[in-house]
Amino acid sequence: MSLVRTEGSVNSMHEARLWTSGGDGTVRCNLCSFRCSIADGKRGICGVRENRGGTLYSINYGRLIAQNIDPIEKKPLYHFQPGSSSYSIATVGCNFRCLHCQNYNISQMPRVSRKIMGDEVSPDEVVRSAKEAGCRSIAYTYTEPTIFFEYARDCAVLAKEEGIRNVFVTNGYMTKECLDELSGILDAANVDVKSFSEEFYRKVCGARLAPVLESIEYMLKLGIWVEVTTLVIPRHNDSEEELREIARWISRTEKSMPWHISAFYPAYKMMNVPRTPASIIDRAREIGLEEGLRYVYTGNVPGDPGESTYCYACKRILIERLGFGIKANHIEDSRCPYCGAEIDGIEL
């Protein structure tokens, strides 16, 4: 991830979408499930949406703090254009305050310092760069894409015109109104289900679980391809009971929705928490398969067999991976070449 650190000016503020006036100088932001009521001169919980004189502005619009070319597998998306490159971008800010955030220096910047850093890059320039790099998608990632929704949406519309797909890597806290505005232009999302405990979400993330599950269900109704990631943190969300609850929910919702189970390593305010043992990650994968999920993957454990894609019918290996790289892809016309089972995904 390459970072750019030029401080932006308030002159680049962009009027936000999805808000209503409170009639007393306050505004109600309807972008994410916090639905902040914001007084004049104040910002929402994300730190990047500000009420100026009764009008809500996106003050991080077009201010890229990170841009990079990534393998789509890094998102992680394993059933969406496997083996392709994705042009990845981010602005500062996030509506969560996760204690284990790996990109806290940019996600929490507006909350901690009130600074809006980043280089000015227009949506046209983003799409042009993605096209020149041969990327088949643009990923809105690294921080939370919902909080730079206006910019992401403008980029996504232009990308679709160029035949480039759009991907969110998200905490899933957006409202239905937000998803409705992304319908038809957002192709795929990897959504974090960080835990199946409301207490975990409240203490560790400063949020709630229920809106995340509702967002995933609504994305599926809109035809957005969804994969789920759970970062397994020792002593916090690593019990077999909780992992099984997550697996059961995914199975009830959509058995073909891939589940990525990633190993934690110490970060931010959880430096005293140990790394996740590979044995727990492997057991979580077994639980997912026991609950009837078609595709369950292990993450942050390079060389683990759970990195690869297997046919859910005949169990033969279909996509062999090492880390984020693909060693072989045997899928033919979205089908298993050995038994003919249809393999779920987009442009496999």
How far apart CA 77 and CA 169 sit, in angstroms, is 9
Per cent of the chain over pLDDT 90 is 95
Helices (H), the chain: 104-107, 109-112, 123-132, 149-161, 176-182, 198-200, 210-221, 240-253, 278-290
DSSP letter string, 150-192: HHHHHHHHHHHHTT-EEEEEE-S-B-HHHHHHHTTT--EEEEE
How far apart CA 91 and CA 211 sit, in angstroms, is 23
Q: Please state the pTM of the whole predicted model.
A: 0.95
On the question of pLDDT at 4 being above 50, the answer is no
Per cent of the chain over pLDDT 70 is 97
Alpha-carbon distance values, 218 to 35, 214, 256, 311 (Å): 18, 6, 16, 27
pLDDT band at 132 (very low <50, low <70, confident <90, very high): very high
How far apart CA 346 and CA 344 sit, in angstroms, is 7
On the question of pLDDT at 5 being above 50, the answer is no
**Per-residue pLDDT at 251:** 98
Q: What is the mean pLDDT of residues 235-260?
A: 98
Alpha-carbon distance values, 144 to 151, 157, 161, 171, 285 (Å): 12, 19, 24, 7, 26
How far apart CA 277 and CA 283 sit, in angstroms, is 10
Could you report how far apart the first and last alpha carbons of the chain are, in Å?
26
| Tens of pLDDT, residues 63-86 | 999 999 999 999 999 999 999 999
User: Is the distance from CB of 50 to CB of 72 less than 8 angstroms?
Assistant: no
On the question of pLDDT at 94 being above 90, the answer is yes
On the question of pLDDT at 115 being above 50, the answer is yes
CATH 3.20.20.70 domain range(s) in the chain: 63-308
Q: What is the mean pLDDT of residues 215-244?
A: 98
Neighbours of 191 (CB within 10 A): 23
User: Judging by beta carbons within 10 Å of its beta carbon (0-12, 13-18, 19+), is residue 279 exposed, middle or buried?
Assistant: exposed
How far apart CA 285 and CA 306 sit, in angstroms, is 8
| Tens of pLDDT, residues 7-50 | 333 346 799 999 999 889 999 999 999 999 999 999 999 999 99
Q: Report DSSP state, residue 206.
A: S
User: Is the distance from CB of 236 to CB of 247 less than 8 angstroms?
Assistant: no
Which one of 3.30.1050.10, 3.90.950.20, 3.40.50.720, 3.20.20.70 gives the CATH number of domain 63-308? Answer: 3.20.20.70
User: Is the distance from CB of 344 to CB of 78 less than 8 angstroms?
Assistant: no
**Per-residue pLDDT at 12:** 60
pLDDT band at 312 (very low <50, low <70, confident <90, very high): very high
Alpha-carbon distance values, 185 to 1, 65, 115, 150, 157 (Å): 25, 23, 30, 13, 6
How far apart CA 80 and CA 188 sit, in angstroms, is 8
On the question of pLDDT at 123 being above 90, the answer is yes
| Tens of pLDDT, residues 255-270 | 999 999 999 999 999 9
| Tens of pLDDT, residues 143-202 | 999 999 999 999 999 999 999 999 999 999 999 999 999 999 999 999 999 999 999 999
Q: What is the mean pLDDT of residues 216-228?
A: 98
**Per-residue pLDDT at 13:** 76
**Per-residue pLDDT at 105:** 96
DSSP letter string, 27-72: EEE-SBTT--EE-TT-B-TTSSEEEETTEEEETTTTEESEEEEEEG
- Classified as helix, coil or strand, 327 is strand
**Per-residue pLDDT at 23:** 83
